[in-house]
Structure 1
Amino acid sequence: MQGVRRARWRASVIAGSVAALLVAGTAVAVGAQAATGCRVAYTVPAQWPGGFTADVAVTNLGEPLDGWSLEWSFTAGQEVTQAWNATVSSSEGIVTAENMSYNAELGTDETVSFGFNGSWSGTNPEPTSFTLNGVSCTGDIATPSPSVSPSVSPSPSPTSSPRPSDPMAMVAAMEPGWNLGNTLDAIPDETAWGNPLTSEALLQQVRSQGYNSIRLPITWSNRHGPAPDYTIDPDWLDRVREIVDWSLAEDFYVMINLHHDSWQWINAYPNDPTTVMDRYTALWTQLADAFRDYPKELVFESINEPQFADTSDAEGDQLVHEFNVEFHRIVRESGGNNTDRLLVLPTLHTSTDQARLDALLTTFDQLDDANLVATVHFYGWWPFSVNIAGGTHYDATVEQDLIDTFDRVHDTFVANDIPVIIGEWALLNWDHTRPGVIQRGEFLKFLEAVGYHARTRELTTMVWDAGQFLHREELQWRDQGVYEMFKASWTSRSGTASADHVYVPQSGSITSRDLTLNQNGLSFQGLWQDDEQLAEGSDYTVAGDTLTLTGPAMTRLVDDRAYGVNSTIEARFSQGTPWQINIITYDTPTQTTATGTTSSFAIPTEFHGDQLATMAARYADGSNAGPAEWTPFKEFWQHFQPDYDAGAIILKPEFFDEVDDGQVTLTFHFWSGTQITYEIVKSGSTVTGSTG
């Protein structure tokens, strides 16, 4: 790789025994005066095998400082691998953290904070002593060290809310991020896709929940005039500006883009290049002008999920390159703060395939601009993301896909000092309007893993929320436990288990039940029911990773054995959010005959406390029936769905659209492990069904 980026990266590495200079930025010379008193709070909010995250808060109890240097020793060979809000180096076990230009001044009783990721092996003891400008931090006033002289060169005054200036550090400070999805990008207007008008209260709520950046997807295609000027509707631009202003006032980093324009008109570029590029240029010229003098916390993204008609992937890579280069030219030439504003460039389709990543890396090499950021999207292993082909569990395949994806992105960009924003992530079919597509416990495992693997690879994430997570009218999370897992994953790991449920038949003897703990490098602390701790030995035992609930405990937990959830317990670990386990009573679901049509057919079903996991469909000869004929397992909700209130399983018209006339055997798989079969016969538009 050529030019600015590699030069800066090489300059940030300290040779010989020095472990690393971890934040590339302008650090001022440390002031020579000593502190007369200081206090240090060192915490490790996250630790995993071989790595950890540390937060350090330094309070100056003495005279104001113009520049500071904190030193401590690692006694077990730990090393710092990446830092933010300080320049950190180490030599022979001594670690030195020095101020950045924006946080050099430290007044009396003021606190400065920084953080870092580190590596360890064996043990990871916390430092026991620190010195600030050569004076021991004991929490009391101390006599200044005679060997330290006063500073003679004052540092720039920090702003009221200091921000990093280095691109890598700035993007790291944007973690975690949140998308205002299906709102400004909705067609034809802000509320067309079911969300209310965006309010200051909404943004305040999101900020209060710990999110540091907000992505504002914006569709412009029906919000501007005709060629050749393509003048943006001033009322729409004012509305966008209002939400940007509110977001900046909440201390968010803010990212704006051209969103659904990608498939509405930009995709026609191969067949009408002049018209499309003129329109694109006109829009970004106006936007660059409108936001020229906005602070650097406003970030521009060229196009959301770029795509092109009638092209191969390789051809599409070249077209994305052309749009990214034009976007870069327009913004940089517009002047003001746009001369070095962070610009976010996507791959074709925001894909994480290696060829797409390599193509974008070529663009970065050509532009040779240190203030560029790469962006991709991540919605997980597709069969799991939509529940098709038996993709019901967060299993080894789903995990490996996640790891491989994040490794590719890290190795292509972050390793070359190019920041990365995962501009959208979630699972495609997790939605409050489609309950049960993704089983809740399996979804929580996915959330936990995304947070960990992104954090350890220095990837900033922006969750896609189109209303499925935060209820915008009530300003409450639709599922508080989902949010708690989000939040925990930003700084730590959480323990999970092989399941978040234990199914117990309504009749018959009650026996002990086993679950496998996924401790994720943590230690298991015990089981609780509400505020009462269960007794190890009599209520449960742990052998390795096997958690066994005893027969007497299970008897108590199923209570009166009514169908459904009888009780909930939680497994607690040394860090992270507890893992809830529902104790559920069930019996085998039963079904009865049915008649209907291909446009309206439902199988009467008594669920008896059980929950549907998936459905397989096969013809009489054993071949796969229905859509996605490469697998017997159909797509949950797209092809079938349960209706627990009505007592039915609905087969969708989309399923019958690709079913041949004749007999089809359906196998319904339930989360208890139960399987039942049902026979349907299709004849034209008529469908009949009977128990297998």
Structure 2
Amino acid sequence: MLLAAVGVLVAGTAQAAAGCAVTYQVSSQWQGGFGANVSVTNLGDAINGWRLTWTFPAGQRVTQAWNATVTAAGDDVTAANVGYNAAIATNASVSFGFNGSWSGTNPSPTSFALNGVACTGGVGPTTVPPTSTPPTTPPPTTPPPTTPPPAGDAMAAVAAMQPGWNLGNSLDAVGADETAWGNPRITEALLDNVKAQGFKSVRIPVTWSAHLGSAPNYPIEAAYLNRVKEVVDWALADDLYVMINIHHDSWQWINTMPTDRTTVLAKYNAIWTQLASTFRGSSPKLVFESVNEPQFTGSSGDAQNATLLAELNTSFHRIVRASGGNNATRLLVLPTLHTSSEQARIDELVATFNALNDRNLIATVHYYGYWPFSVNVAGGTHFDATTQKDLTDSFDRVYDAFVAKGIPVIVGEYGLLGFDRHTGTIEQGEKLKFFEYFGHYARARKLTTMLWDNGQHLGRTSFQWSDPELIAQIKSSWTTRSGTASSDLVFNSKSSAISAKTLTLNLNGTTFQGLRQGSTDLVQGTDYTVSGSQLTLTAAALTRLTGSRAYGVNATLHARFSAGVPWRINIITYDRPVLGNATGTTSAFTIPTQFRGDQLATMEAKYADGSNAGPHDWTSFKEFDVTFQPDYTGNSIALTSDFFAAVTDNAPVTLTFHFWSGEKVTYKVTRSGSTVTGTTA
């Protein structure tokens, strides 16, 4: 709905020419509510400080506004400038927007006045001064953004943020203190070490729910806000880009927006209003992210989800921009629903970007890999073609939708979901291949990436990496590719004669340089041969390397390539694992296991009729750690209470344990109430 009102008012007491035109547009409307955009054009002499007044014809009310301060007395409404948009030159325009409520009908206002002058489109020689003096707020020291800002700035800044790191499970912890989830208090030394590790940006997730006062202002606890600012300032002092957000609030209370929109929006807007004010003067290297992994409970479906998220993202954008200072051009990060890279979710965010038309915006998604591989379920034990395609499809979609059109993208979190338990859920070599390819393809698609670290990677006080091999691969992938191989494990059965073993090299654009054990180079033609991509270790070399043939890793080799990090190859002696009979309960059941040098890859569970048993009964392959857990030092395999909770009583289940050597060992368990018996099959 569009309304243009034009006109002129003449009086004899002032000497300035005056006139104005207003465009009032209802941008969206829903049951009981609507959104509107208002554009005011000054047709007279330049003014500094403005008030636009109008009267609603059908009892409508403004519930929220941006880029203006809106007050009302009944149906009479006044919108006044905020600091950065006080000045309107001749023939220049300012715009603001609001959300409102209505009942019955929602007709547009028919007349407007700017500083007491009716907006009817002409220009008169004089104007009557307004009955009350308009605000004289001077323009901010930092000029407002160009419209839009110069192209390329956001892309360059986001490129400069690569690589990034997440300070997870600290200020985002749900509880009264940043130590609530087990991490120590953040120190300046930690941020110094993050910088020293080569990271250019740090994402500092923040959960606000436990630190908010009551309605209507929802004040943030001063001590907590000061603590957040202290940590942000430490990171900025290290010349890091910094991203802060609203984090676990997304599933704590923002998700109730479908049924409690007014409260959620009021609280959300209050948080961002306070944050925008607090950080208004902070370095442009501080970046705001509207909300982490947005989600909605009880909505009517995708359409409503998209509408609600667009409202949050748009409100966030307007609040920050209206606050002036460095916020006028600050980089702002907007997520898709669930930070998903599905095409439908991307399309929804594209629509929001198109509507906002602001070149200082960044899109964000998260990536935790192809789910079966990421948690090791459904047989997803390898970084195979399916797992790789999931990654390339995801990055291609965000590239095509955003990067190719000059909109930067940050992968705000990445990793593997199994890491939430421990990094051994996925076999080491397969894990390394995933991260090598992830870094490569992110570079190819010009995506900035931020490693999710909730304390499982970089020690918060030791400043040591829990998996040096993993971080070496990740760091290498920031700049180049590394060669890998079909496996990092070469097995020789102790009960059989040693024979030559062949691995397939994945050169990834590099060239193979040789094999080395420690500082000693192996001899090509004697210790190994290379034919195309096939690397064969000779029986003679394996015999020498395995020595007395004790179970486990007998020797470690490194394949070296022309670029990147070497590929580790463990030479292992094993025999078929042996399992023992056991009794226990559904809450405590372990199978005595002689691993004999082998390593467990996955477990299948089936009933006698061949149907799948246990959780995720759409697959026979169960989830590593969640349903079964190997203990190599304790010589056992535990079956969890989660597994037995999904097992039929008194229905024998045949388990098949798959080992990385290729061995398969079967075992039978029967649950009877809370009692479990296990026998070798």
Specify the TM-score bucket, using the shorter chain as the normaliser.
Answer: 0.7 to 0.9
What is the TM-score normalised by the length of structure 1? Answer: 0.76
Distance 2:472 2:302 in 1: 39
Corresponding residue number in structure 2 for 1:230: 218
**Equivalent residue runs for 1:300-449 within 5 Å:** 300-311=288-299, 312-430=301-419, 434=422, 436-449=424-437
Q: Deviations over 1:514-541 (max 9, x none)?
A: 0000000110000011111110000000
CA drift of 1:473 comes to 2.3
Distance 1:434 1:600 in 2: 21
Q: Which amino acid aligns with 2:309?
A: V
CA drift of 1:276 comes to 0.7
Distance 1:620 1:375 in 2: 47
Q: Is the 8 A contact 1:434 1:637 kept in 2?
A: no
Q: Which amino acid aligns with 1:360?
A: L
Q: Deviations over 1:184-205 (max 9, x none)?
A: 1012121111211111111111
Corresponding residue number in structure 2 for 1:513: 501
Given the alignment of the two structures, is residue 598 of structure 1 paired with residue 595 of structure 2, yes or no?
no
Distance 1:624 1:505 in 2: 31
Taking a change above 3 Å as real, the CA distance of residues 417 and 456 of structure 1, as seen in their structure-2 partners, is same
Q: In structure 2, the residue corresponding to 1:285 is in which secondary structure?
A: helix
**Equivalent residue runs for 1:157-236 within 5 Å:** 166-188=153-175, 189-236=177-224
Q: Deviations over 1:219-276 (max 9, x none)?
A: 0000111111111111111111111011011110000000000000000111111111
Distance 2:453 2:639 in 1: 28
Q: Deviations over 1:468-495 (max 9, x none)?
A: 1112221101111111101110010000
Corresponding residue number in structure 2 for 1:78: none
CA drift of 1:600 comes to 1.3
**Equivalent residue runs for 1:29-178 within 5 Å:** 166-178=153-165
What is the TM-score normalised by the length of structure 2? Answer: 0.77
Q: Is the 8 A contact 2:152 2:406 kept in 1?
A: no
Q: In structure 2, the residue corresponding to 1:499 is in which secondary structure?
A: coil
Corresponding residue number in structure 2 for 1:266: 254
Q: Deviations over 1:500-525 (max 9, x none)?
A: 11111123311110000000011000
User: Which of the two has higher C-alpha Rg?
Assistant: 2
Corresponding residue number in structure 1 for 2:536: 548
Corresponding residue number in structure 1 for 2:456: 468
Distance 1:529 1:600 in 2: 43
Distance 2:275 2:263 in 1: 19
Q: Deviations over 1:532-565 (max 9, x none)?
A: 1110000000001100000111011112211111
Corresponding residue number in structure 2 for 1:88: none
Q: Is the 8 A contact 2:486 2:504 kept in 1?
A: yes
Distance 1:534 1:587 in 2: 27
Q: Deviations over 1:265-305 (max 9, x none)?
A: 00011111111100001110000000000010000000000
Given the alignment of the two structures, is residue 575 of structure 1 paired with residue 576 of structure 2, yes or no?
no
Task: Point out 4+ residue stretches in structure 1 off by more than 4 angstroms.
Answer: none
Counterpart among 648, 651, 663 of residue 674 in structure 1: 663
Distance 2:178 2:152 in 1: 34
RMSD: 1.1
Corresponding residue number in structure 2 for 1:28: none
Unaligned runs of 5+ in 2: 1-150
Q: In structure 1, the residue corresponding to 2:652 is in which secondary structure?
A: strand
Q: In structure 2, the residue corresponding to 1:316 is in which secondary structure?
A: helix
Q: In structure 1, the residue corresponding to 2:229 is in which secondary structure?
A: helix
Counterpart among 258, 265, 268 of residue 280 in structure 1: 268
Q: Which amino acid aligns with 1:251?
A: D
Q: In structure 2, the residue corresponding to 1:471 is in which secondary structure?
A: coil
Q: Is the 8 A contact 2:422 2:456 kept in 1?
A: no
Unaligned runs of 5+ in 1: 1-163
Q: How many residues align?
A: 528
Counterpart among 582, 604, 614 of residue 626 in structure 1: 614
Q: Deviations over 1:144-181 (max 9, x none)?
A: xxxxxxxxxxxxxxxxxxxx981100000000000001
Q: Which amino acid aligns with 2:436?
A: E
Q: Is the 8 A contact 1:167 1:371 kept in 2?
A: yes
Q: Deviations over 1:660-686 (max 9, x none)?
A: 121110000011111000011122221
Q: Is the 8 A contact 2:491 2:571 kept in 1?
A: yes
Q: Which amino acid aligns with 2:400?
A: D
Q: In structure 1, the residue corresponding to 2:598 is in which secondary structure?
A: coil
Q: Deviations over 1:37-91 (max 9, x none)?
A: xxxxxxxxxxxxxxxxxxxxxxxxxxxxxxxxxxxxxxxxxxxxxxxxxxxxxxx
Q: Deviations over 1:356-377 (max 9, x none)?
A: 0010000000000010000000
Q: Deviations over 1:114-137 (max 9, x none)?
A: xxxxxxxxxxxxxxxxxxxxxxxx
CA drift of 1:430 comes to 2.3
CA drift of 1:645 comes to 1.8
Distance 1:669 1:318 in 2: 47
Q: Deviations over 1:378-419 (max 9, x none)?
A: 000000000000000000000001000000010000011110
Corresponding residue number in structure 1 for 2:238: 250
CA drift of 1:435 comes to 5.2
